[in-house]
Chain A
Amino acid sequence: MPMQLNRDDLIRAYRSMATIRRFEERVQEEFSKGGIPGFVHLYAGEEASAVGVCQHLGPKDYIASTHRGHGHSIAKGCDVGGMMKELFAKQGGLCGGKGGSMHIADLDQGMLGANGIVGGGPPLVVGAALTAKTLGNGHVAVCFSGDGASNQGTTFEALNMAVVLKLPAIFVFENNQYGEGTGFSYHCGSRDIAGRAAGFGLPAVKVNGDNFFEVHEAAHEAIERARSGGGPSAIEVDTCRFYGHHSGDAQLYRGKDEVKNLREQRDCLKHFRTRVSEAALLEADALDAVDAEVAALVDRAIVDARAAESPDASELLTHVYVSY
């Protein structure tokens, strides 16, 4: 097993991935029932990416996220109860119910926000990395983007600027094969995000996102390079999503049995369980206990979120400015 992950590390990784999976599956159910306003974009299927990267980060390291931000938030340490309340637009939500799923953020955990703009995050991560470099505090900034954002001009500008200023930034492209409902093989001219990133002059690798350990290893190398002053890197994670672009997407663009096959063949949690069991690192009982624990955590978060109050009407006018 690479990286000499100890038992606690493995449990922590599995707990994080399992929490994301449970969170997204329950959000899908609750969204269908009603009660979650707006749009939610679910991360199930991609857990190994967020967790494989964020395992190397502390609360003072920064991440920027995408529309599909629940997984990154959980992996970065955001409170699941506060997240669920935010999705339900309730008091006590991470953003007081004023951001919602698409803008979920927690600066105390270094989570600079999901982003409603595809390609909105990369320039911001350049800035967070510039802060780290200027203050010389050894922190790094990670930008999660989808394959869709890999085509945005802001992404190209950010990659170049990170190289020019030699910033401690890591650009993780989660290639789930779809930009909304348009396939990767159509929308990405070179069909090679890592190769395109490398063209900007930074080390770029492609990893299998079904394999937590592969993501973890690549992220370790990139993050250590950034921390030690070696500049930015890019990682393309080949992954898949088990739900549509957003919850409620009829997914007419998918092939027959595509999702069924993905769930059977490309489930990064199943892959993790198999690996750690075969290597006799964790027993099934321990993993089952984690599943039960996170199920209870997420289920309680939903009960609490449903019971919580909506924001007070006075909140409409607060937090536009620090002072005005």
Chain B
Amino acid sequence: MPLKSIRQALNEALAQEMRRDPTIIVIGEDVAGGAGSDGQRDAYGGVLGVTKGLIGEFGEARVIDTPITESAIMGAAAGAAVTGLRPVAELMFSDFFGVCFDQIFNQAAKFRYMFGGKAKTPLVIRTMIGAGRSAAAQHSQSPYGIFTAVPGLKCVVPSNAYDAKGLLIQAIRDDDPVIFCEHKLMYDLRAEVPDEPYTIPFGEANVVRDGNDVTVVALARMVHYAMTAADELSKDGIEIELIDPRTTSPLDEDTILESVERTGRLVIVDEATPRCSIATDIAALVADKAFAALKAPIRRVTAPHTPVPFAPDLEKLYIPSPEKIAAAVREVYGYGR
């Protein structure tokens, strides 16, 4: 099977779906780039190149460069979705939800409920998450916990190229609004990705690694850090079961609970801040529904309750590390023994 980067996998998913369904449009800032200039059209293809080449195949009517105008982009996508298109809108950095959240949070997410089940809003919002590039406090956050907290939204957080393609195609075919989070440091990460289109259902976690000692739940880039930690821990005979939920809404509660029933020990790794977060949500879930199985306190390895710092040394401290993950697993593993 061919090796492809997450960038290639996403581009392929978009192109294949756009060929299949003429109602799919891509809309956002510099999704092609070069509109109204003397230089190249498709100069960017998205700031990280995910939508490169689409305008050449599908034209300006379906690959729509917009002004820098996030409320209008999100509103246009929501309004187009509820009237018959299947827009894939780009919110360049997820941090920018702060300027346009009304159109997502009060409008798109709530149409179906407010209108008594009459509306369908098949909208995908692709957006970048993640720290690690010294992009500082307004270009580095991972606010998927906020999206997950909104009834009516679905939220996808892939960790590899195979999942990225299958989940994006699922997101495009899904009839509900989906926030699709792409980690900015993972676009070049490669995996085996089939050439043909395929879907991965929402709400089905991937058990990345089997183990019986400690359950570890991690998302996006943290899956890879947890794998690094797992290799170290394995040398000492500690085998973690690593679960990648892949979607935070819906969340595959069963896979997490079944694993904790077996291991009795849980560590959750999350690059986002800890208050009212995915890590906290999963901890509450397990405390609620698998309390009797727990042999140790639940540990969360997360960013601190701070904005993302600019200084590379501080940012390194901010992001959970394989060492911190391994330390938390050892603590939980050793508890009560």
Q: A residues bordering B, Cβ < 8 Å? A: 62, 64, 93-99, 103, 105-108, 112-113, 115-117, 120, 122-135, 141, 153-154, 157-158, 160-161, 164-165, 318-324
**Cβ distance B124 to chain A, nearest Cβ, rounded Å:** 14
> 16 pairs across A/B with beta carbons < 8 Å?
A99-B116, A113-B111, A115-B107, A117-B102, A124-B79, A127-B75, A128-B80, A130-B64, A130-B76, A134-B85, A141-B83, A157-B75, A161-B66, A161-B69, A319-B116, A321-B176
A158 to B175, CA, bound (A): 25
Q: How far is the CA of A133 from the CA of B83 in the complex (A)?
A: 12
Given A123-B76, A161-B67, do A322 and B175 touch, yes or no (CB 8 Å)? yes
Chain B, Cβ-Cβ closest to A115: B107
Cross-chain contact A103 with B114 (CB below 8 angstroms): yes
State whether A322 touches B79 (Cβ < 8 A): no
Check: B117 CB closer than 8 A to any chain A CB. yes
Counting CB contacts under 8 A, is B72 at the interface?
A: yes
Find out whether the CB atom of A157 lies under 8 angstroms from the CB atom of B85: no
- Distance in Å from the Cβ of B151 to the closest Cβ of chain A? 5
Tell me whether B106 and A116 are in contact (CB under 8 A): yes
> Cβ of B71: which chain A residues have Cβ within 8 Å of it?
123, 153-154, 157-158
Query: Which residue on A lies nearest to B123, using beta carbons?
Result: A127
User: A122 to B75, Cβ gap below 8 A?
Assistant: yes
**Is A320 a contact partner of B151 (Cβ separation < 8 A)?**
yes
Assess the A161–B112 pair: CB atoms within 8 A.
no
A237 CA / B219 CA spacing, docked (Å): 52
**Tier of interface size on chain B:** 35 or more
Is the Cβ of A321 less than 8 Å from the Cβ of B152?
A: yes
Binary A-proximity of B87-117 (CB < 8 A = 1, otherwise 0): 1000000000000001100110011111111
Supposing A135-B84, A318-B117 touch, asked if A128 and B79 sit within 8 A by C-beta, the answer is yes
- Interface residue B82 (Cβ < 8 Å from any Cβ of A): yes
Set of chain B residues within 8 Å of A154, measured between Cβ atoms: 71-72, 75, 102-103
> Which among A62, A96, A133 is the interface contact of B116 at CB below 8 angstroms?
A96
CA distance A95 to B112 in the complex (A): 9
Are A99 and B107 in touch, CB under 8 angstroms?
no
Task: Report whether B118 and A134 are in contact in the complex, using a CB–CB cutoff of 8 Å.
Answer: no
- Report which of A107, A128, A132, A165 forms a contact with B115, defined as CB distance below 8 A: A107
Question: CB-defined interface of B150-194 with A at 8 Å, one 1/0 digit per residue?
Answer: 011010000000000000000000111000000000000000000
